[in-house]
Chains A and B, each alone.
Chain A
C-alpha cells in the first residue's frame, strides 16, 4: 500500500487544536464550572426534579464531593465507576472525580448488580459507587485542574460493532465536543435547556457539556415517559431549549398529542440525536414548532457530535426532500470528514460512490480501553473510521447511506443481539436463540428473542425474561419471546437473524 495515500491527519489536527483554543476555551469542563462560579455565581446552573443549584452552589458541591472521594483514598489516575442518576448531584460527582485527576466511568442506572460487578472488574475500577450521595464534613478539596491531555472519562457503550467497549476520552475531547454542540446549535448564555436523555450516555452528557461551556442552565429529568412531570419541569424552570431523540419525540407526541406545540414561542431550538430524523418527523416538527431551530446530529461516542444540521433552514419542497433524504449535516467546528475505502484510503465520493465515513478532530476518542487491536483498526492516522457508509455532496454536507451491521437501535439505545442472546442462553432452558430488531411505531425498533427450548424443558417466557433482567439493562431486554422448533440457518449453518420472523409465521401456518 502506498504510504502517502493512507489517512494521516496529524498536521490538520494540530491546526484544529490551535483553532479550538481561540474559541471559548479551558483545558477541562470542570474548569469552566469554576470560571462561571466566579463570573455568574447566582445564575442557575443545574435543576432537576429534586433540587436546583446555581453555579456557586454547584462548584461548592463538586469540591465537597472531591474531598469525600479523597477521604476514601481516590487519587490521580484512579478509576471511579458509578451508577448514574439523572440528577445534578451525579454531575457534581463526575466533575469531583476530574478535580482529583481521576477517571470517571458512568454506567446506566438500571445495570443489574451482577453486570456492575463484572464491569468493575473488566475496567479495573478502584472505587465503585452505587449512589452519588456522600457526606463529608471536612474542608473542601484543594483545586487542581486536570491537563487537557489527561484521561477524563470512559464511556461504556455497545456502539455499533456488537461488543461492549469502554471508550476513553481526554479532557480535550470533552471540551472539543462541548464546542461542537455550543457553536453548532448557536447556543447563547441565557439558554435553559431540558435534557431527559441519560447522562451516562454520550448524547445526554455531551449536551450538558455544551451548555456548561457557555455558562448556560441545564435542566435534567427522568426521560419523557412521565409526560406531565416533563412539562411541569419545563414550566417551573422556564426552559427555552430541549435535547431529545426521535424516539423521545415519538413518545411525547403519542402521550401528549400537540402539547409540545404549546411551547412553540418559548423553545428556541430542539436538538435531536442518536438516530436519524425521518422526513415525516421533520415535517411534523416544522409544523408544531414553527419558530424553533431544529437540529439533527450525526455523532458517535468515538467521535462525538461531529456533524449538525438545522433542518428548519431547508424548506420542505419536493426537490429538497430528495436531496435532504441522506444529508445529516455539515461538519461541526472541530470536525473534518473524509470518505475512505476498505484500505483506509481517501476516495472522491458522491451520490454514486460511497465509502466508510472517517472523522478527524480533537473530540475523537483516545481509543478503546484495554483493546489496542480494535483501537488500531478503528483509529487510523487520527481519524475514527466508522462502520457507517456515506459520501460528501457538492456543498460539503455529509450524507449517510447505511450501517454495515445488524445492531438494533431501540429508542436511540444501541442493542447488540449477541449480548442479549448470551444473557438468554444463561437461563439454561434454551438450546439456541437469536435476537432481532422488530419495527415499533414508538421506538423505531424493539429487541425480540426467537428461542428454541432444550429437549424436555418447558418453555417459560417469564423465567427467561427475569433471568435476562438480572444481567442486562432494561432497554436491552427483549419485549417478546417467540418460541420456534428451529432457528433458520443458511447453507453453511449460520443463523439468519433476518429470517426469524418469517420462520415464526411459517411454523404458525404449519400448526393450523
Chain B
C-alpha cells in the first residue's frame, strides 16, 4: 500500500471526514468512519491494526494513520 492507496481508501471509507490534499491536516472521524477504515485496511491490504493502537491519536490525520500502517507493515 502506498500513500495514494491510503488516500483513496480514506476518501472511500469516510467521505465526509474532511480529508484534504494535506496529509497532516486534522480530521474529525465518527465511530463508523473508524470502523470502516480499520475493516478496509485489513480486507484490502491485510493490515490488521491491533486494538491497542486504535486510539484517537492514531486516527487524527492521514499522516498519523500512514505512520501507524508503516509501523505495522514493518513488523510483518
- Chains A and B form a bound pair: yes
Q: Is A469 an interface residue (CB 8 A)?
A: yes
Q: Is B2 an interface residue (CB 8 A)?
A: no
Interface range, B side:
10 to 19
Q: When the two chains form their complex, are residues B16 and A255 in contact, meaning their CB atoms are under 8 A apart?
A: no
A257→B50 CA distance, assembly (Å): 9
SS class, residues of chain B in contact with chain A: helix
By a CB distance below 8 angstroms, the chain B residues around A406 are none
Q: When the two chains form their complex, are residues B38 and A474 in contact, meaning their CB atoms are under 8 A apart?
A: no
- CB closest residue in chain B, given A481: B15
Q: When the two chains form their complex, are residues B56 and A474 in contact, meaning their CB atoms are under 8 A apart?
A: no
- Binary A-proximity of B12-53 (CB < 8 A = 1, otherwise 0): 000110000000000000111011101100000000010111
Q: Which of A110-140 contact B (CB under 8 A)?
A: 110
Q: Is B72 an interface residue (CB 8 A)?
A: no
Stretch with Cβ within 8 A of B (4 or more), from A153-161, A204-212, A222-230: A222-230
Known: A442-B39, A474-B30. A462 touches B15 (CB 8 A): yes
Q: Is B55 an interface residue (CB 8 A)?
A: yes
Q: When the two chains form their complex, are residues B16 and A228 in contact, meaning their CB atoms are under 8 A apart?
A: no
By a CB distance below 8 angstroms, the chain B residues around A145 are none
Q: When the two chains form their complex, are residues B54 and A226 in contact, meaning their CB atoms are under 8 A apart?
A: yes
Q: When the two chains form their complex, are residues A226 and B32 in contact, meaning their CB atoms are under 8 A apart?
A: no
By a CB distance below 8 angstroms, the chain B residues around A499 are none
**Among A229, A255, A461, contact of B38 (Cβ-Cβ < 8 Å):** A255
Q: When the two chains form their complex, are residues A228 and B53 in contact, meaning their CB atoms are under 8 A apart?
A: yes
**Among A226, A411, A475, A477, contact of B34 (Cβ-Cβ < 8 Å):** A226
SS class, residues of chain A in contact with chain B: helix
A197→B21 CA distance, assembly (Å): 34
Tally of contacts, chain A with chain B, CB under 8 A: 57
Q: When the two chains form their complex, are residues A469 and B16 in contact, meaning their CB atoms are under 8 A apart?
A: yes
Q: Is A21 an interface residue (CB 8 A)?
A: no
Q: Nearest Cβ distance between residue A138 and chain B, in whole angstroms?
A: 36
Instruction: Please give the number of chain A residues whose Cβ is less than 8 angstroms from any Cβ of chain B in the complex.
Output: 28
Q: When the two chains form their complex, are residues B51 and A225 in contact, meaning their CB atoms are under 8 A apart?
A: no
Q: When the two chains form their complex, are residues B54 and A227 in contact, meaning their CB atoms are under 8 A apart?
A: yes
Which of A225, A251, A477 counts the most B-chain CB atoms under 10 A from its CB? A225
Q: When the two chains form their complex, are residues B16 and A466 in contact, meaning their CB atoms are under 8 A apart?
A: yes
Q: When the two chains form their complex, are residues A257 and B51 in contact, meaning their CB atoms are under 8 A apart?
A: yes
**Among B35, B51, B54, contact of A442 (Cβ-Cβ < 8 Å):** B35
A110→B30 CA distance, assembly (Å): 9
Q: When the two chains form their complex, are residues A225 and B35 in contact, meaning their CB atoms are under 8 A apart?
A: yes
- CB closest residue in chain B, given A443: B32
Q: Nearest Cβ distance between residue B53 and chain A, in whole angstroms?
A: 7
Q: When the two chains form their complex, are residues B31 and A225 in contact, meaning their CB atoms are under 8 A apart?
A: yes
**Among A229, A251, A462, contact of B35 (Cβ-Cβ < 8 Å):** A251
By a CB distance below 8 angstroms, the chain A residues around B38 are 254-255
Q: When the two chains form their complex, are residues A255 and B54 in contact, meaning their CB atoms are under 8 A apart?
A: yes
- CB closest residue in chain B, given A478: B15
**Among A229, A254, A442, A465, contact of B56 (Cβ-Cβ < 8 Å):** A229
- CB closest residue in chain A, given B42: A254
**Among B15, B16, B39, B56, contact of A226 (Cβ-Cβ < 8 Å):** B56
Q: Nearest Cβ distance between residue B27 and chain A, in whole angstroms?
A: 13
Q: When the two chains form their complex, are residues B16 and A465 in contact, meaning their CB atoms are under 8 A apart?
A: yes
Q: Nearest Cβ distance between residue A279 and chain B, in whole angstroms?
A: 23
By a CB distance below 8 angstroms, the chain B residues around A461 are 15
Q: When the two chains form their complex, are residues A229 and B32 in contact, meaning their CB atoms are under 8 A apart?
A: no
Q: When the two chains form their complex, are residues A224 and B31 in contact, meaning their CB atoms are under 8 A apart?
A: yes
Q: Which of B54-69 contact A (CB under 8 A)?
A: 54-56, 59
Q: Is A287 an interface residue (CB 8 A)?
A: no
Q: Is A183 an interface residue (CB 8 A)?
A: no
Q: Which of A446-465 contact B (CB under 8 A)?
A: 461-462, 465
- CB closest residue in chain B, given A260: B51
Q: Nearest Cβ distance between residue B76 and chain A, in whole angstroms?
A: 17
Q: Is A259 an interface residue (CB 8 A)?
A: yes
- CB closest residue in chain B, given A466: B16
Q: When the two chains form their complex, are residues A226 and B55 in contact, meaning their CB atoms are under 8 A apart?
A: yes
A74→B36 CA distance, assembly (Å): 43
Q: Which of A467-491 contact B (CB under 8 A)?
A: 469, 474-475, 477, 479
Q: Is A231 an interface residue (CB 8 A)?
A: yes
Q: When the two chains form their complex, are residues B16 and A477 in contact, meaning their CB atoms are under 8 A apart?
A: yes
Q: Nearest Cβ distance between residue B21 and chain A, in whole angstroms?
A: 15
A124→B54 CA distance, assembly (Å): 41
A222→B31 CA distance, assembly (Å): 9
Q: When the two chains form their complex, are residues A255 and B15 in contact, meaning their CB atoms are under 8 A apart?
A: no
By a CB distance below 8 angstroms, the chain B residues around A224 are 31
Which of B30, B31, B53 counts the most A-chain CB atoms under 10 A from its CB? B31
**Among B30, B32, B51, B56, contact of A255 (Cβ-Cβ < 8 Å):** B51
Q: Lowest 3 CB-CB distances: which A-B pairs, in order?
A: A256-B51, A225-B31, A227-B51
Chain A interface (Cβ within 8 Å of chain B)? 110, 222-229, 231, 251, 254-257, 259, 411, 442-443, 461-462, 465-466, 469, 474-475, 477, 479
5 sampled A-B residue pairs with Cβ under 8 A: A225-B32, A225-B35, A228-B55, A254-B39, A255-B51
Chain B interface (Cβ within 8 Å of chain A)? 15-16, 30-32, 34-36, 38-39, 49, 51-56, 59
